[in-house]
Amino acid sequence: MTKPRLIKAQSDETPERKGLKKGLYLVPSLFTAANILMGFFALMGSLRGFQLVGIGTPDALLAAAGHFDRAAIAIGWAVLFDALDGRIARMTKTTTEIGVQLDSIADVVTFGIAPSVLAYCWSYGSAFSDGSNAHKAGWFLSFMYLMCGGFRLARFNVQATRPRILAEGTVKVDKKSFVGLPIPAAAAIIAAIIHFAPRPFAQYPPDSAKLYSILVMALVGILGALMVSTIRYSSFKTVGTKRRSTRLVILVVAGLSTLIWLYSRYMLLLIAGVYALHGLVIRLFNIARRRPDEQ
């Protein structure tokens, strides 16, 4: 008489566990949805800021700076959501093919379209007269940034589904590094700069506005080139996976979070800049230490 009761109790618990498992599959998708929301918010803020720049009054320019700043902050939040959705999916083993494709689409919107439009509206879109060669060049560089970001995501998806084969014939997936600057990092650099100085370039003297715009255009072009390059960047996917390093990671994250909260304009720019440069520095160091016969 005891066995049937035990079997019945186990069968009653099974649907509850299955329901819990299905609920876990929604968690990474919720972070992806938040990522898309932040990208849409950044786009709307950029367009509204550009509209106020066109008005040109001091109050309108001040309001435009607020819109650009909030758009940049939204991209920063999207970087956090993008990092969490993949890590949560791997930790809970709830990775799905739909989730992977949705994440790529979200990255195109939030880290491709949104920062390119934000950079255009904030800087060279208003600094150069419409139809001038410089204005056309800025428009082209914003588009090429988007194209390079799309190519970077496509290459990442192909490399993730087709791991390289070693000489021994075994499969190896490189989880420690990315090939090319990740598109969230490229978007984070643009967002960090705008968060540091959100005033639209139309508010500066004409000569200064044109000079700063040329520098921003060069930066956008360089970021696009880094995304499609073969320079390796750390992925940090293995950070915190070992028990010994968990406490250290928690302390580092807590310290950085506090500093970002207190000095966001400086810390975000510093973190984004260091990450973008560390791949270049490592590549140059590896080239410099090669033997003459290896070159």
DSSP letter string over 212-255?
HHHHHHHHHHHHHHHHTS--EEE--TTTT-SHHHHHHHHHHHHH
Give the contacts of 186 (CB within 8 A, at least 6 positions apart): 111, 115, 145, 149, 223, 224, 226, 227, 276
Q: Helix axis angle, 206-227 relative to 183-196, nearest 10°?
A: 160
- Say yes or no to pLDDT of 130 above 90: no
Does 271 map to a domain?
no
Average pLDDT over residues 255-260: 89
Q: How does pLDDT run across 101-118, given as a tens digit for each residue?
A: 888 889 999 999 999 999
Q: Has residue 185 been placed in a domain?
A: yes
pLDDT at 157: 80
User: Which SS3 state, helix, strand or coil, does residue 295 take?
Assistant: coil
In a domain, 287, yes or no: no
Is 91 contained in some domain?
yes
CB atoms within 10 A of CB 129: 8
Q: Is residue 289 part of a domain?
A: no
Task: Give residue 16's pLDDT.
Answer: 46
Place 129 in a pLDDT band, splitting at 50, 70 and 90: confident
Give the pTM: 0.83
State yes or no: pLDDT of 11 exceeds 50: no
- Residue 48: predicted pLDDT: 95
Cβ-based neighbours of 46, under 8 Å, separated by 6 or more = 67, 68, 71, 114, 117, 118, 120, 121, 122
Type and span of the H or E element at 177: strand 177-179
Mean pLDDT of 156-169: 61
CB count within 10 Å of CB 77 equals 17
The CATH number linked to 54 is 1.20.120
pLDDT surpassing 50 at residue 166: no
Q: Which two tokens stand for residue 237?
A: 């996917």
Between CA 197 and CA 200 the distance in angstroms is 8
Question: What confidence category does residue 137 fall into, taking pLDDT thresholds of 50, 70 and 90?
Answer: very high
Q: Is residue 32 part of a domain?
A: yes
| Domain assignment present for 10 | no
Q: Which domain holds residue 138?
A: 18-237
Using the predicted structure, report yes or no on whether residue 275 has a pLDDT greater than 50: yes
Contacts 24+ apart (CB under 8 A), 150-154: 150/108, 150/112, 151/227, 151/228, 152/180, 152/181, 152/182, 152/183, 152/227, 152/228, 153/104, 153/107, 153/108, 153/112, 153/183
Number of folded domains in the chain?
Answer: 1
Average pLDDT, the chain: 82
Per-residue confidence (pLDDT) for residue 168, from 0 to 100? 43
Residue whose structure tokens are 């649907």: 15
Does residue 262 belong to any structural domain of this protein?
A: no
Strand, helix or coil for residue 198: coil
pLDDT tens track for 220-257: 999 999 999 989 888 776 665 566 667 777 888 888 88
